[in-house]
Amino acid sequence: MYTNLESLIMQAANGQDFDEQLDNVTIFYKANFDRALLSTQLLNHGTWFADREPKKGGRVSVAECVALLQASHSCRTPFAVKSVDFLR
């Protein structure tokens, strides 16, 4: 399942369609995610990288995605995760 999560984040960051991965993740985690909010956040995630390097010359890395997510979390932006119990 972690592969689906990574793929979901990476495809969104690189401006690729992520509907199939979003379906897989939200089906697996059921009520732990707000699907509509997560979809919106992933679209914003891709937009954030759209005009930045290395996106202009290639793909966004996993490390860049993690850094953005950590920065977003420290700003206390609302996140689509309803429960972190699934991480235990």
Phi then psi for residue 33, to 5 deg, are -120, 145
Measured CA to CA, the distance from residue 21 to residue 4 in angstroms comes to 6
Global pTM value: 0.69
Total domains in the chain come to 1
Tens digits of residue pLDDT in 14-73: 888 999 999 999 999 888 888 888 898 888 888 877 776 555 556 788 888 878 777 765
User: Which domain, by its residues, includes 49?
Assistant: 2-87
Confidence at 85, pLDDT banded by 50, 70, 90: very low
Tens digits of residue pLDDT in 57-84: 567 888 888 787 777 655 544 455 554 4
Tell me the angle at which helices 35-50 and 19-29 cross, rounded to the nearest 10 degrees: 140
Sign of CA dihedral 57, 11, 34, 4: negative
Residue closest to 21 by CA, chosen among 11, 13, 32, 36: 11
